[in-house]
Structure 1
Amino acid sequence: MLNVKYIGKKGLALCFLAFAIALSACSSGASTPTSGSADNSPSGEQGSDGKKSGSNVITISVVTSNRFLELAKKKYEAANPGVTIELKPSYIAPKPKDGAMTPTRASGYDPAAVEKHVATVNAELMNGNASDLIMVDTLAYTKYADKKLLVDLQAYMNKEKDFNENNYYMNIFDALKYKKGLYAITPSVVADIWFGNSDRIKDLKLDPNSWTWNQFSQKLGDLAKKGGDPVVEYTPPEYFTSKRVSENIDKFMKLDEKKANFKSPEFTSLLNEIKSYYDKKILQEPKSNGNKGMTSGGSAGFKEAFINLKLQNFDSLSFGKRLFANPQVFMPPTENGSKGNSFNVGMLLAMNEKSKNKDRAWDFLKFLLSEKMQSERDLGGLPVNKKTAEAQISTLETAGENKLSPDEVGKAKEIMPQLKRYGGMEPKINDIVMEETGLFFKGEKTAEDVAKTLQNRVTLYMEE
């Protein structure tokens, strides 16, 4: 749960290492045979004047453009002469002055970009002139679904003869459903992974495939009592809370009923539980750089018991070797009795119900899910196409500097099928959660007061 707001020297080292995770996707060499729906899709037609007709132009509204969509546009147009993919960004970041580097963000979009995209898409949908496809991961898209403004893509999957559900991790799409309808799909997902320092946790007897937040609190609390090095890489409590809320969003919000459930014993209990992690010093703000440099084994020599990072490509499962001398890969902790792990998305795309170009738009969505595009290094997450994922894991078993150990290969094969809960939370609601819970952790509000305020603010927002 790395956050650049609280970097320090050690955090900066982690940032560089995390950056290495992203770069490793570009050097893994994992690939699969290329195939995709575009090869069989209808070719574009031209009018008598030789210009492309409107029906051959697929418009896509995006927050800002990204390399994966730009590459997909290029490849799809090449495979479908006469068809044009038009990316319509709502926001173009201003160019830095005087040769300065463009600032980057640790996660998500620039708030200005999100605000502009929300305003643009709202206006276009209400005016009936929205794009064929719309990027909706920053939008309250369930509200659009309720207003019959988005297409249920499950219907397309059901009627499509060459769409074989066995080729995809359908648990991902099932987790994205709203009122039994699939109103947005994603080409890729991002999962949480925990790297354990075996030298510090060997006596805790934790199951790396199945451990709970109760064990996190109790066993890591016991470890913290011994003092010395930090136990878990620091994350500000409001960010930690936001993560826990989002991965259990169904417990605190009923989107289909437009109801919030923050004013509940479950939520106040969660706040007090998370506060106890900091009181016990399982998580504590770093005071000095605990990293003592590279060890003889080639690791960075971090002293924490656990470090949690986002997994965007399978070869990054070998990343633990860069952190600890004796690393162990752990699945994320879960609630008692919870089923499956949560995930976030690289992006979510929905189809405009009023589009006159639905069949072509669907064909492009299929292309994004094809082995041809899922194998691209710019995918921005773990592929939802099974054949692609299996081929990448198979490649990493035998070749490359990021070769996975047998244990890491086992984890790689388990990750995708276990992702059964969508952990995305609308940016506006996320901001409200962090703002209000931050007051609790500062001691300015009680858990009950925070729960009451959250209940009112989120309910008002959902009813807008």
Structure 2
Amino acid sequence: MIILNIKANRKKGLALCFMASLIALSACSSGANTPASGSSNNGTSGEQNSGGNESGSKVITVSVVTSNRFLELAKEKYEAANPGVKIELKQSYVPPQQQAGSMTMYAFGYDPVAVEKHVATVNAELMNGNASDLIMVDTLAYAKYADKKLLANLQAYMNKEKGFNEEDYYMNIFDALKYKDGLYAIAPNVVTNQWFGNTDRIKDLKLDPNSWTWAQFSEKLGELAKKGGDPIMGYTPPEMLLSDRIGENLEQYINWNEKKAGFDTPEFIALLNEIKAYFDNKIIQEPQQTAGGVGKAIKMGESMKMKEAFINLKLQRFDSLNFGQMVFEKPELFVPPTEDGSKGSSFTAGMLLAMNEKSKNKDGAWDFLQFLLSEEMQTAPDLGGLPVNKKAAESQIDAMTKAGENPLTPELAEKAKEIVPKMQRFGGIEPKINDIVKEETALFFKGEKSAEDVVKSLQNKVTLYMEE
């Protein structure tokens, strides 16, 4: 049984969406075809890997920030199904906890030290010509590498001759990841936002749970906040809200094609002021601390009876949709608001994997990459995100409706089936740029610099980074 400990004296920035993520039991360290028994043996034929071992096994190398349970399981299963092939997971950074024999789990993102180490390691290996066959690139500005012809265009491998059947996957995910009409990274798992509305608080607001705007959010919830009383939104720090908003319209702010940033605009200044107004108008408030910080243990299925109008959830597993039943007596599932009320949502990747253009074992690397996308691996509990394989998603949802404890209701199951197909935009901000944005805009949210001064500095720093 899953236990959720809620402590009132948690650090600022630890939002309810973080607590919900614990329910999701993401086992990834970030920040996820035919089954293995039928996997082809491309790794033992065709192009040869430059690596190998003394036993003569073919080696497929995978460069990762830190390893995780999903990749370790994939390695074990793939090697068992493909005698003579070894998967080598090359970690750029080994956390101290892992050195001691345990796995490290982060709710969102990687340890910054791990990111810095991975970037340095991958850069050095690519320059020296000894990079891995597959490279984890969710912490890298992989568009830069694609421009330098260092990453393979995976579009060339996505055909039936290479074992890839488009009908098996949510191709909207792959399409959203394209860069300059090419596909240079694939996401085995995806994460998106979902909101839970408290029907008792919002029934008179006349909001469409399938299509609403940030303007409606500001207006309707602002009116609710003026009445005082219970909090309106579960606390989310301004930098997290800003990151989500940028991710919704990433192409507006980051144009890798032209190496241009788009932060020095009246629209972005308006966005900063809008987010600040959420806090000024008490739509979002920092949680009150209680003496001693005594927490309460909440079991899955036990009602928390919260009074907020909305709670934001980073959805990493379909059964986390039951979180609404925990927080509110009468919950309603909402898609996040958007700028124009469009029905397409944004997503981030639990992990992104790219293929080294100079790999001498591309066929083997592609075969392992396909295995990560297989129904067998996509249904693994340790996936660490929502599956991109249709059959895997459908079987997961079906199993959750028949669960003996806290099953998905038929209504939630139908909504779960609609979540991944509606993802239209990749909202993953390259970590270095995200760090720059957070550092610069924090000065505005703290009242130390004007929005105009912040965007000038932000624009210059991001532009310089993109032009490197």
Q: In 2 relative to 1, CA 161–70 (structure 1 residues): closer, same or farther, beyond 3 Å?
A: closer
Alpha-carbon separation, structure 1, partners of 2:211 and 2:446: 32
User: Which residue in 1 is equivalent to 2:246?
Assistant: 245
1:192-271 alignment, distance < 5 Å: 192-271=193-272
Residue identity matched to 1:298: E
Matched, 1:405 2:406: no
Alpha-carbon separation, structure 2, partners of 1:41 and 1:153: 19
Q: State the shift of 1:239 in Å.
A: 2.2
Alpha-carbon separation, structure 2, partners of 1:4 and 1:294: 11
User: Which residue in 1 is equivalent to 2:275?
Assistant: 274
Q: State the shift of 1:454 in Å.
A: 1.1
Matched, 1:335 2:339: yes
Q: In 2 relative to 1, CA 204–337 (structure 1 residues): closer, same or farther, beyond 3 Å?
A: closer
Question: What are the Cα deviations for residues 275-309 of structure 1, in whole angstroms up to 9, with x where unaligned?
Answer: 111111100112246999989x9311111111101
Question: Secondary structure of 1:256's partner?
Answer: coil
Number of corresponding residues:
450
Query: Does the Cα contact within 8 Å between 1:38 and 1:80 map onto a contact in 2?
Result: no
Alpha-carbon separation, structure 1, partners of 2:101 and 2:133: 37
Residue identity matched to 1:35: P
Q: In 2 relative to 1, CA 5–452 (structure 1 residues): closer, same or farther, beyond 3 Å?
A: farther
Matched, 1:58 2:49: no
Query: Does the Cα contact within 8 Å between 1:195 and 1:328 map onto a contact in 2?
Result: yes
Which stretch of structure 1 is more off in the superposition, 77-86 or 251-260? Answer: 251-260
Matched, 1:373 2:377: yes
User: Which residue in 1 is equivalent to 2:455?
Assistant: 451
Alpha-carbon separation, structure 1, partners of 2:211 and 2:324: 19
Query: Does the Cα contact within 8 Å between 2:209 and 2:334 map onto a contact in 1?
Result: yes
Matched, 1:320 2:324: yes
User: Which residue in 1 is equivalent to 2:386?
Assistant: 382
User: Which residue in 1 is equivalent to 2:77?
Assistant: 75
Give identity over the alignment, percent.
65
Which stretch of structure 1 is more off in the superposition, 33-42 or 126-135? Answer: 33-42
User: Which residue in 1 is equivalent to 2:287?
Assistant: 286
User: Which residue in 1 is equivalent to 2:187?
Assistant: 186
Alpha-carbon separation, structure 2, partners of 1:226 and 1:325: 22
Matched, 1:35 2:50: no
Which stretch of structure 1 is more off in the superposition, 310-319 or 13-22? Answer: 13-22
User: Which residue in 1 is equivalent to 2:433?
Assistant: 429
Residue identity matched to 2:234: E
Query: Does the Cα contact within 8 Å between 1:292 and 1:302 map onto a contact in 2?
Result: no
Which stretch of structure 1 is more off in the superposition, 396-405 or 160-169? Answer: 396-405
Q: In 2 relative to 1, CA 9–89 (structure 1 residues): closer, same or farther, beyond 3 Å?
A: closer
Alpha-carbon separation, structure 2, partners of 1:135 and 1:23: 18
Query: Does the Cα contact within 8 Å between 1:37 and 1:367 map onto a contact in 2?
Result: no
Structure 2: any 5+ residue segments left out of the alignment?
Answer: 1-5
Matched, 1:7 2:10: yes
Residue identity matched to 2:25: A
Residue identity matched to 1:274: I
What's the TM-score, normalizing by structure 1? 0.89
Matched, 1:460 2:464: yes
Residue identity matched to 2:41: S
Q: In 2 relative to 1, CA 6–122 (structure 1 residues): closer, same or farther, beyond 3 Å?
A: farther
Which stretch of structure 1 is more off in the superposition, 396-405 or 375-384? Answer: 396-405
Matched, 1:138 2:142: no
Q: In 2 relative to 1, CA 402–421 (structure 1 residues): closer, same or farther, beyond 3 Å?
A: same
Alpha-carbon separation, structure 2, partners of 1:70 and 1:129: 23
Alpha-carbon separation, structure 1, partners of 2:185 and 2:302: 43
Alpha-carbon separation, structure 2, partners of 1:11 and 1:337: 28
CA-atom RMSD in angstroms? 3.1
Which stretch of structure 1 is more off in the superposition, 403-412 or 254-263? Answer: 403-412
Q: State the shift of 1:53 in Å.
A: 3.7
Query: Does the Cα contact within 8 Å between 2:78 and 2:371 map onto a contact in 1?
Result: yes
Structure 1: any 5+ residue segments left out of the alignment?
Answer: 26-32
Q: State the shift of 1:324 in Å.
A: 1.2
